[in-house]
């Protein structure tokens, strides 16, 4: 088996790559370890808590014990299915703030400033709503807004305004800062994963999907020539006549590189792996978003708890199955907020997802009865972790150590998150609804008590990235250059969230797809013209928090 381009991973970056390369007439093979994505738990947006907890769709990874979080091991789901993590995620669509990409550029990722990436966001989007001129309207990726009929969803945005924050009608447009509608990769009541948006259309254009597990990249004289895979019939090599492209996630891409001999030489030798290229940055610079759920009792029976019984779930499921409408047609994250934690910070560093139900990500309700919650967390933690090998066996999971809360600023930021959220829930808009605070609980007030709550209850937002950092060719810690080429070898690129120099504001699915789109153009030796537009920055950011 051979193609000009062999892509490992059918997720956000990989599917976008496959589509653009196939569209340009190139021969493409996409390797995917997981299976069919057609099950209702994946396709029904309201069932999002199921696929990320199902071994059939998820790699089932977890972190090492995290010393600053009471040695808890945190679940780290990654999609092992057609469409990758875009088939099991929460479907929230956030581009990131313009300043995130300017920071990438200034850190050595030349050509990745906001002016450079905006045209790719516009090319990939089919936005149903949003700010004219800032959004794409004819791309393969449908981006929609929920109906926002629940009064709690409305109350959250009103409370934000009452607390003195900005409103924004499109956080993916000119103005991220403020409270407003949330966007999602949902189309006609179904999850619009990259399998739907990119992979299936790519296959219609001739791209081939191979169901197998990548074991390592094969090198000849320092050039990637193929990928060794395993499948039920044994082990074979799929040859790439031009390039191998890794889009296997920020956890599996560094693992594959190290198994292939690209990584920190001492670590590779420790596992008896022959060194092809000594790149100390492989697996380093691991980042994520941590978040807390601030949960309130709801005094009126208006939350989604109405459906949290056998009959209610049957109704939601049946309605969705036959009409693709109702609560099952939304991920229920319909209102959002991006705020700054303090004066002197020029763009938002706290994100809110609002949910009209008090529930955990694994689908367990926090308290019997009606409730609502805000997911809140800092956007730019200074803590850094690593992905390393447990062994030289391809079938072994990587060792994932996030090193959460290892920077003292993280603690200050989380306390601020909790206190600012309480203030929002204390506004007039929530007066008819807000009962007692379920979590953390009104009695949890001191810095020490809040820190204890964080240690016990902080959860990953499932946004790992940064483990194959993009940078200048002469940057010893960089793994790929600004065109996604792995430094020190030939014929190998990376096109997923592992190349992010620093984590972006918000959820990572949109920037991961954008990376696939942009790296595809680098492969094809072309680029879209830059668009020099200025994002909205609060005029009083130096002196005011809101």
Q: Which residues are catalytic?
A: 463
Could you give the 3-state DSSP secondary structure of residue 429? Answer: helix
| Strand bridging mode 234-246 / 492-494 | parallel
Q: H-helix or E-strand containing 322?
A: helix 310-323
Burial 293-320 (b: 16+ CB within 10 A, else e): bbbbbbeeebbbbebbeeeeeebbbebb
Mind giving me the DSSP string for 393-427?
Answer: -TTSPPEEE--TT-SHHHHHHHHHHHHHHHHHHTS
CB 227 within 8 A of CB 31: yes
Report d(CA 295, CA 277) in Å as an integer: 49
| HSE-up of residue 332 (Cα within 13 Å, Cβ side) | 24
- Could you tell me which of 40, 509, 9 has the C-alpha nearest to residue 245? 9
Tally of CB atoms within 10 A around 64: 16
Beta-bridged to residue 22, according to DSSP, are none
CA-based nearest residue to 466, from 64, 5, 107, 42: 107
Region of 321 on the Ramachandran plot (φ > 0 left; ψ -120 to 50 alpha; else beta):
alpha
Kindly report the CA angle at 515 between 509 and 521, in degrees rounded to 5? 145
| Tokens representing residue 535 in the block | 């994002």
Burial zone of 186 (CB within 10 Å; 0-12 exposed, 13-18 middle, 19+ buried): buried
Tokens matching residue 278: 């000594």
326 vs 313: CA distance, rounded Å:
11
């Amino acid at each position: 088996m051979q193609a000009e381009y062999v892509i490992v991973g059918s997720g956000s970056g990989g599917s976008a790559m496959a589509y653009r390369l196939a569209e340009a007439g190139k021969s493409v093979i996409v390797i995917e370890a997981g299976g069919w994505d057609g099950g209702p738990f994946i396709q029904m947006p309201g069932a999002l808590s199921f696929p990320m907890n199902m071994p059939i769709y998820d790699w089932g990874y977890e972190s090492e014990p995290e010393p600053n979080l009471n040695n808890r091991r945190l679940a780290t789901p990654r999609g092992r299915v057609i469409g990758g993590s875009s088939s099991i995620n929460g479907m929230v669509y956030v581009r990131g703030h313009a300043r995130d990409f300017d920071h990438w550029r200034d850190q050595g990722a030349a050509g990745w400033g906001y002016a450079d990436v905006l045209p790719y966001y516009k090319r990939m989007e089919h936005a149903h709503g949003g700010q004219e001129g800032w959004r794409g309207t004819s791309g393969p990726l449908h981006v929609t807004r929920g109906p926002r009929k629940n009064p709690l969803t409305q109350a959250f945005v009103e409370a934000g305004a009452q607390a003195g924050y900005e409103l924004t009608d499109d956080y993916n447009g000119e103005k991220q800062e403020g409270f407003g509608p949330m966007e999602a990769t949902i189309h006609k009541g179904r999850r619009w994963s990259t399998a739907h948006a990119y992979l299936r259309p790519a296959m219609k254009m001739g791209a081939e999907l191979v169901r197998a597990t990548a074991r390592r990249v094969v090198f000849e004289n320092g050039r990637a020539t193929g990928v060794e895979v395993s499948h039920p019939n044994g082990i074979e090599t799929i040859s790439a006549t031009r390039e191998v492209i890794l889009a296997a996630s920020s956890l599996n891409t560094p693992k594959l590189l190290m198994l292939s001999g690209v990584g920190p030489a001492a670590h590779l030798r420790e596992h008896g792996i022959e060194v092809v290229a000594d790149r100390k940055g492989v697996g380093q610079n691991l980042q994520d978003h941590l978040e807390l759920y601030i949960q309130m009792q709801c005094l009126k029976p208006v939350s989604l708890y109405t459906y949290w019984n056998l009959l209610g779930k049957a109704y939601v499921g049946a309605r969705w199955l036959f009409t693709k409408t109702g609560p099952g047609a939304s991920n229920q994250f319909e209102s959002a907020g991006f705020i700054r934690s303090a004066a002197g910070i020029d763009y938002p560093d706290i994100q809110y997802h609002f949910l009209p139900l008090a529930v955990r990500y694994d689908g367990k309700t926090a308290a019997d009865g009606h409730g609502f919650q805000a997911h809140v967390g800092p956007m730019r933690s200074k803590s850094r972790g690593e992905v390393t090998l447990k062994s030289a066996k391809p079938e072994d999971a990587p060792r994932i150590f996030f090193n959460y809360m290892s920077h003292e600023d993280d603690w200050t930021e989380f306390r601020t998150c909790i206190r600012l959220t309480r203030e929002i829930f204390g506004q007039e808009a929530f007066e008819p609804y807000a009962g007692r605070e379920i979590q953390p609980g009104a009695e949890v007030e001191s810095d020490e008590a809040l820190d204890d709550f964080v240690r016990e209850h902080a959860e990953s937002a499932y946004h790992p990235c940064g483990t194959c950092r993009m940078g200048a060719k002469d940057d010893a810690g960089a793994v790929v250059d600004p065109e996604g080429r792995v430094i020190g070898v030939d014929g190998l690129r990376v096109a997923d969230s592992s190349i992010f120099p620093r984590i972006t504001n918000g959820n990572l699915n949109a920037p991961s797809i954008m990376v696939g789109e942009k790296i595809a153009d680098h492969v094809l030796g072309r680029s879209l013209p830059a668009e020099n537009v200025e994002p909205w920055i609060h005029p009083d950011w130096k002196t005011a928090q809101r």
